[in-house]
Structure 1
Amino acid sequence: MIIQGHEIHSHLKLKTHSVVIGSGAGGGVAAYHLAAAGVDTLVLEEGGYFQARDFNQREEDMMPALYRSGGQQTTTDGMIYVWQGSCFGGSTVINTADATPIEAEVLHHWQQKFGLTELTEESLTASYERVYKDLNVHRLEDRILNRNNNVLLETADRLGYKAGVFNSNRKGCIGSGYCFSGCSYDAKQGTNLTYLPRASALGASIYTDVRVDRIEPLFGGTYRIHASVLERGTRALRLPITIDAERIILAAGTVHTPAILKRSGLDKGLPQLGRNISLQPQLGISAQFDASDKMISWRGAPQSVYMSEFDDNRADHGLGGFRMEGVGGLPGVLGAFSSAIGQEHKRMMQAYPHTHYSALLVPDQPTGTMDWEWGADGKVKPKIHYRPTAEWVQRLKTGMKTATEFLFEAGARQVNYNSAVYPSLTSPDQLSRIDELPVEPGMVQLTSAHVQGSCRIGLDASTGVVNQDLKLHNLDNIYVVDGSVMPTTSSTHTMIPIMVMSDRAMHKMLNP
């Protein structure tokens, strides 16, 4: 049963066994496994309920409807956009359906640095098998690779660089290119089409447009959730709702899961809450080719090819180095997020059909922190504090030089970066200019779609917020199953790692 906010007309007082807060990668998996085990389950999702017919392929409508803060959430200094989904299915609705696992070197790093010896490749094998089957994960079909992505594959092959095509959780994809705005064809197998409908069919109740405000511990080890029903669109408060439950599964995301714990006063004895945040920032790079070389980046699978020659993944530091990934884009998003202005912006958009777009992805270490303020209406105002380290900036610039040289080798005539002050380069002879470019707020615009940390796994409360089974260290029967539990950045794309960790935690919890 799926109940939308506008269908609630009075103050509800509910009682259930388990409540899942959030319906994205971690929450969807948790809800399904709880319902499949016969547990009375209720899911609360702050965002709205949308189906294929609602995804109208208009960016100006879909970003406000599907993204947290309409896609405008940033770090406190404004240098990094932090994109998260906020709808039925969470970020699995708006991502590019790339299915990448936790790298073996990352698990080895977690074991060596944090002592997380239970998180081994063997311990996750069964979860990977279940998740891959549930999502129809397979290598992306060549028929929906566009020229924008294929140029990376072809050039890497010519240079002898490691590159590949992503595995994907699509089924019957026609290559419309609107992945970032929700799939109008039900091809992308997010939790909105897989785990959540299955959970509902097994008896779970799913409420959308409901924001969780705080969790109140009750006598006897149970909890009361205080929540608010929101008006669709305006997000204005409509009605209160309270739910009594024996168990809570938090899956509200790296930014909002710790906010709920903090506002509830449940952060006592958890000094790592809101710390150890990784953003894995990425820089947008565009390259203009001859007008006859049509990239058509807005069609096909937007993000389907990666060039991984310069990955540096090791047990002593986890993910490192940098990589290029083709990233197609729709004109509204690319135009709005470009730093060009005036005539330069006009020229950029005129060259759009023969412009290649890549993301330069540079893994980071968990150095960010966050805190929160709450408005009179109870709405949380997150503050994400993050500044790239000098070592990260150096890797970014090395990656920029490598990517620029690579694109000239591919046939580009001009290479641009997502910055209003960085110069366009027209020759490999100009690469040394990159050394002098400032990586500062207002100078360059970065994005993050893989925010992690803030409730990381640790052996005890001094080093983490949850244990290796993803249960809070300081309270019984509260679990966290979203990206906030990752001790460091887990993979170049985080949907599958989150789902696998959630699957493992639910199986251990339900089969002690």
Structure 2
Amino acid sequence: MTAPFNFGQLKFLKALTEALFHEAEMAITPDQVVANVCDLFAKVGGTKLDEIRLSLTATEFVLGGPFFTEDDVAGRAQKLKDRLQNSQIDLFQDMARLRGIIYACYYGHWQPGLEPGDQSANAANPVHRQIGFTLPKFRQRGSYDVPLEPVRGREIDPAHILDADSLEDEYDVIVIGSGAGGGVAAYNIAAQGYKVLIVEAGPFYPSHAITHHELDMIASLYKHGALQTSTNRDFVVFQGRCVGGSSTINNGICLRVNEAGRTHPDAKDVLAKWASIGAPVDAAAFHASYDAVQAKLGIAPIEPRSGRHNGPHLINGWHNYAAASTDPREKRAVADWFAKNFGPPNTVNACAYCGYCNSGCAYGRRMGIAQTYLPEACRDHGARILPGTKADRIVWQTAFDGRREAEAVKLILPDQSKGLVRARVGVVVAAGTIASSKLLDRSDIDGTGYQVSLNVASPVVALMPEGVGGDAWDEDQMSSYVDCGDFLLESHFQPPMSMASLMPGWFGDHASRMKNFGRVHSAGILFPADRRGQIADGKLKFSLDIDDDIPVLRDAMATLTKVHFAAGALECYPALARGQTITRDMDVDAFFRDAIREQDDVTLSSSHPHGGNAINEDPQHGVVDPDCRVHGTTNVFVTDASVFPSCIRVNAQWTTMAMAQYATGRRDPFR
């Protein structure tokens, strides 16, 4: 494997690592951290590697060029404080995000063993010992707990995975994307008797190949190694890039739009909004599609034992906070446990809450697309999956009525050769908001990639008194939520690598917060940024509205901070660029009004990009019609979240699956 960085870049990375750990004890050497950074980017490669190389060069220049590496550690740390940590210059704030990569590659350190992801070789991992973290294999579990044992019989048969040699020249239907939208569509279409090829850009990772080596899994299973950003670098956009898509690496959260009793009663009616802008959806049929997906995935509220620390922390904190509130909207808020496709709950196959949801379920207990729709489509209905393959463009012919008709799809195959596969009946595009928009644009479909929405997230971490509860990391990653109407609060906790990347703070502050790993509780905000973005030159361009979105962001962050304090927190660490601490005696609302002036001031992310190829009856205002057929075509459908006409405000997994079911499960879309 070619080294990803040159000598000068490696020297700068080491100097940067030493400075970021100034006044902090390191359990591994700076050279080991740099080796971990190299390992990450060697696996990610591509344009993201080119970006990080350029960023390293530019950041070194801003910090003083070669003089930075020659300075002592204290001097380097001071330059970081002056020029990056405390800067209001957007470019410098973007450069400051390098700290998250360095901290992630320190706390994601993994010692090689006899086999990939060997937990035994990491029983004494020095970084884990430093922060008091225990890998799942070595945790003490009693009779109350779900055993950490794999569930068998759910995986895709490897015989149903194709390569360039076993690929045939033609299929009835080609489905592009194997995630929430593509997997459901492929199953339904194959069940109707069509010969289906499922094309997936990412690799095939059955559950038994997934490990708790975070750095390796995230580099392998995420698009751009979970480092995909908007063009302004203000938003990290997490998307799966593997067989099963994001359902392989998400938290399994399943929320319907405007579900009675589980949604704030004052929340905007999403389906009514769609109808008002020219995208009517049959509400009864859509909820029947939710029901069909629920039956297939065993979706149900999780068991409280799986989220036993951060889950009740958020719910109890909210009840304490709301009891003292005079705001009637807060009185009407809904606080509850998430429903998920894990298990199902209360069965022998229930989630074993190892805490590694976002790097894949090594125990096969997640009822994801790759454990349900895809294996059944292949086993029962003859579908086949081609991983590691990019759909380059759709090839057209003219139908008898003058519309365009998909004839074939050009592919870039796993061996990087190019191929053309004929689609006798049609094509389904379900590669996700960004990739689907790019593919349709390359295929000469006009108007793609506009009015993209994000559910924007940002964390607030809270330090609890000693002796409160057990180890906060010993649970499911996300377990409870509060729907406040304008935004949601969601409990969460991450394993060391991921937690380190989102943990606010610099230098010794960051290290001391990580040393309290078992004592910190965490939750995040989620608010809808409706139709603020577009796909431009193949990338997401996205900005919050300073008048509409920034006040909601401030309010959500302030509310969550107050809820932490109502749950007993000593101090809070919101995900601000400067890493400030909030204490109980401060005016929290005033603090956030001052601290968040623009989106660069806070760490923002999204796992739910949607829109871009919206449903609309009028082809001038949408890419697909109400049946999800691309306007002006006879046989091309889009069945992923890119067809959502406006922001759905809740986690998108279940709604994406329901949309695919709505488009392909009620009737044969090709007749």
Using structure 2 for the length normalisation, give the TM-score.
0.69
2:396 corresponds to which of 209, 217, 240: 217
| Counterpart in the other structure of 1:318 | none
Is the Cα–Cα contact under 8 Å of residues 294 and 355 in structure 1 kept in the other structure? Answer: no
| Counterpart in the other structure of 1:134 | 296
Secondary structure of 2:451's partner?
coil
Which range is displaced more, 34-43 or 289-298? Answer: 289-298
Q: In 2, Cα distance between the equivalents of 1:253 and 1:491?
A: 17
- Cα distance change of structure 1 residues 482 and 497 upon mapping to structure 2, 3 Å threshold: same
- AA aligned to 1:283 is S
Is the Cα–Cα contact under 8 Å of residues 394 and 443 in structure 2 kept in the other structure? Answer: yes
Q: In 1, Cα distance between the equivalents of 2:307 and 2:375?
A: 30
| Counterpart in the other structure of 1:465 | 623
2:257 corresponds to which of 84, 91, 102: 102
- AA aligned to 1:8 is A
Is the Cα–Cα contact under 8 Å of residues 369 and 454 in structure 1 kept in the other structure? Answer: yes
| Counterpart in the other structure of 2:521 | 356
- AA aligned to 2:652 is T
Is the Cα–Cα contact under 8 Å of residues 223 and 244 in structure 1 kept in the other structure? Answer: yes
In the TM superposition, 1:406-425 aligns within 5 A as 406-425=563-582
| Counterpart in the other structure of 1:163 | 335
Q: In 2, Cα distance between the equivalents of 1:265 and 1:182?
A: 36
Q: In 2, Cα distance between the equivalents of 1:404 and 1:191?
A: 35
> How far apart are 1:103 and its partner, in Å?
2.1
Deviation digits for residues 215-254 of structure 1 (CA, Å, limit 9, x no counterpart): 1113553422111123xxxxxx532222110301000000
Is the Cα–Cα contact under 8 Å of residues 3 and 208 in structure 1 kept in the other structure? Answer: no
> How far apart are 1:64 and its partner, in Å?
0.9
Q: In 1, Cα distance between the equivalents of 2:382 and 2:395?
A: 25
| Counterpart in the other structure of 1:443 | 601
Deviation digits for residues 170-223 of structure 1 (CA, Å, limit 9, x no counterpart): 112111111101101111111000000000011011111111111111355342
- AA aligned to 1:136 is G
| Counterpart in the other structure of 1:375 | none
Secondary structure of 1:224's partner?
strand
Deviation digits for residues 31-85 of structure 1 (CA, Å, limit 9, x no counterpart): 1001111111110000000111111111101111111110000111111100111
In the TM superposition, 1:74-473 aligns within 5 A as 74-103=229-258, 105-111=269-275, 113-117=276-280, 119-158=281-320, 159-160=322-323, 162-171=334-343, 172-201=350-379, 202-218=381-397, 220=399, 221-230=405-414, 238-245=416-423, 246-267=425-446, 271=447, 273-294=448-469, 296-308=471-483, 310-311=484-485, 321-372=486-537, 381-431=538-588, 432-440=590-598, 442-473=600-631
Q: In 2, Cα distance between the equivalents of 1:5 and 1:47?
A: 13
Q: In 1, Cα distance between the equivalents of 2:439 and 2:491?
A: 36
Is the Cα–Cα contact under 8 Å of residues 172 and 196 in structure 2 kept in the other structure? Answer: yes
Identity rate, percent: 27
Q: In 1, Cα distance between the equivalents of 2:287 and 2:516?
A: 46
| Counterpart in the other structure of 2:105 | none
Q: In 2, Cα distance between the equivalents of 1:83 and 1:370?
A: 16
> How far apart are 1:404 and its partner, in Å?
1.3
> How far apart are 1:390 and its partner, in Å?
2.0
Secondary structure of 2:460's partner?
strand
The structure in which a higher percent of residues are helix is: 2
**Would you say 1:18 and 2:173 are equivalent positions?**
yes
Q: In 2, Cα distance between the equivalents of 1:503 and 1:495?
A: 12
> How far apart are 1:109 and its partner, in Å?
1.5
Q: In 1, Cα distance between the equivalents of 2:365 and 2:307?
A: 15
Larger radius of gyration between Structure 1 and Structure 2: 2
Which range is displaced more, 71-80 or 147-156? Answer: 147-156
- Cα distance change of structure 1 residues 441 and 151 upon mapping to structure 2, 3 Å threshold: closer
Which consecutive unaligned segments of at least 5 residues does structure 1 have? Answer: 231-236, 312-320, 373-380
Which consecutive unaligned segments of at least 5 residues does structure 2 have? Answer: 1-156, 260-268, 324-330, 344-349, 400-404
Q: In 2, Cα distance between the equivalents of 1:295 and 1:33?
A: 45
Is the Cα–Cα contact under 8 Å of residues 46 and 208 in structure 1 kept in the other structure? Answer: yes
- Cα distance change of structure 1 residues 4 and 136 upon mapping to structure 2, 3 Å threshold: closer
Q: In 1, Cα distance between the equivalents of 2:502 and 2:558?
A: 22
Is the Cα–Cα contact under 8 Å of residues 144 and 300 in structure 1 kept in the other structure? Answer: yes
- AA aligned to 1:72 is L
- AA aligned to 2:421 is I
Q: In 2, Cα distance between the equivalents of 1:330 and 1:241?
A: 41
Is the Cα–Cα contact under 8 Å of residues 404 and 428 in structure 1 kept in the other structure? Answer: no
Considering only aligned residues, what root-mean-square deviation do their CA atoms show, in Å?
A: 2.0
Secondary structure of 2:530's partner?
coil
Is the Cα–Cα contact under 8 Å of residues 98 and 168 in structure 1 kept in the other structure? Answer: yes
- AA aligned to 1:301 is D
- AA aligned to 1:218 is Q
The structure showing larger relative contact order (alpha-carbon pairs under 8 Å, at least 6 residues apart) is 1
| Counterpart in the other structure of 2:20 | none
Is the Cα–Cα contact under 8 Å of residues 317 and 565 in structure 2 kept in the other structure? Answer: no
- AA aligned to 1:275 is Y
- Cα distance change of structure 1 residues 121 and 55 upon mapping to structure 2, 3 Å threshold: same
Q: In 2, Cα distance between the equivalents of 1:406 and 1:35?
A: 48
